[in-house]
Amino acid sequence: MVQLLRKIAFPFSLLYALVVHVRNLLYDVGAFRSKSFQTPTICVGNLSVGGTGKTPMVEYLIRTLEGHKVAVLSRGYKRKSKGFVLADQNSLVTDLGDEPFQIHQKFPEISVAVDADRRNGLTQLEVQVQPEVVLLDDAFQHRRVKPKYSILLTAYGNLFVDDWYLPTGNLRDSKREYRRADIIIVTKCPETLTKAERKTILQKLKPKSHQHVLFSSLAYGNQLKQGQTDNHGFDEIKGRKIALVTGIAFPEPLVKYLQSRELSFEHFEFSDHHDFTREEIATFKDYEVILTTEKDYVRLEGRLENLYYLEVAHSFAADDHAILQKSIKGLL
């Protein structure tokens, strides 16, 4: 039914594509201005909606930049607050949104801020925090700010070159805009990706001479977590009545990973950034163990007992890891 509705909406996707192209053209010719900032900025984003692993990529960069004064600026999707908010020890998930709150909890030593107006957010960070570098989360399409360095993510199973514009497809920006990226990372690759498959993807992406194309897979943690420090083994929950609750764009890799750990579970799949209702929470309580993603955990914590999550990170081959590390560290 959903696919049928997407096909019916094709004329609207043409209109959307036209608006996107005109907007980008106005930036390209200087009718709209992009602003650069004195503080080095690294943009992480994609051309489609959700599901490419932006938050794990931001976390990868935070670890890479350890020892530097780092700030993260995000829109704060679905937060209840307005304007610029700088996270502190009293911040709630409703103040920041799920992904920024997750980063704030996980990396309390860095500054995390949210603002839909990225220009204002960067200005406020420069005044209040004076960071050495700002990571712009999900900002590739926000051309009012010109970052020093741009990382474009595209998922192995849904490359932007194979996609189409909303609402028929998942593209929210023009395919041509990939040329603005410094590095393109193909995420969620199978661990068995061959050199021949890489070559085929490179031929489809057609990177510019200045662009590196790297490949990453998702590496899930080998233990279940509660909070930031409480770890549990998979053997502790085998044979129990388990629910998997996901509110992310593409949960298939997580599902396959849990199946590979020989877990039997019922999957409750929701849309990205889903707001869980009391009725849904009541349904989950019928299960002895509730597994979820790290992003969903920060919205479900305190509402369910026996709630666990799995950490996830990008895993690169040695050569790709070295290229990315050298590129990022060379900015400072």
49 belongs to an annotated ligand binding site: yes
243: domain CATH number is: 3.40.50
Residues 183, 304, single domain; the answer is: no
Residues 183, 255, single domain; the answer is: no
Residues 191, 244, single domain; the answer is: no
pLDDT of residue 6: 81
Question: Does position 162 have pLDDT exceeding 80, yes or no?
Answer: yes
pLDDT of residue 2: 64
> What is the percent of the chain with per-residue pLDDT over 90, rounded to a whole number?
89
pLDDT of residue 50: 78
- Structural domain count of the chain: 2
pLDDT of residue 51: 84
76 belongs to an annotated ligand binding site: no
40 inside domain: yes
pLDDT of residue 121: 98
Residues 35, 142, single domain; the answer is: yes
- Average the pLDDT over 176-199 and give the result: 96
111 inside domain: no
Average pLDDT, whole number, for the chain? 94
256 belongs to an annotated ligand binding site: no
53 belongs to an annotated ligand binding site: yes
- Average the pLDDT over 52-76 and give the result: 96
54 belongs to an annotated ligand binding site: yes
Band (183; pLDDT cuts 50, 70, 90): very high
- Average the pLDDT over 182-202 and give the result: 96
Band (298; pLDDT cuts 50, 70, 90): very high
Question: Does position 45 have pLDDT exceeding 70, yes or no?
Answer: yes
Q: For 229-279, how does the pLDDT look when each residue is reduced to its tens digit (9 = 90+)?
A: 788 899 999 999 999 999 998 899 999 999 999 999 999 999 988 999 999
pLDDT of residue 8: 84
74 inside domain: no
pLDDT of residue 228: 79
Contact 186, 214 (CB under 8 A): yes
Q: For 201-221, how does the pLDDT look when each residue is reduced to its tens digit (9 = 90+)?
A: 999 999 999 999 999 999 999
Residues 183, 288, single domain; the answer is: no
Question: Does position 164 have pLDDT exceeding 90, yes or no?
Answer: yes
Query: 149 lies in which domain range?
Result: 2-68+132-219+316-329
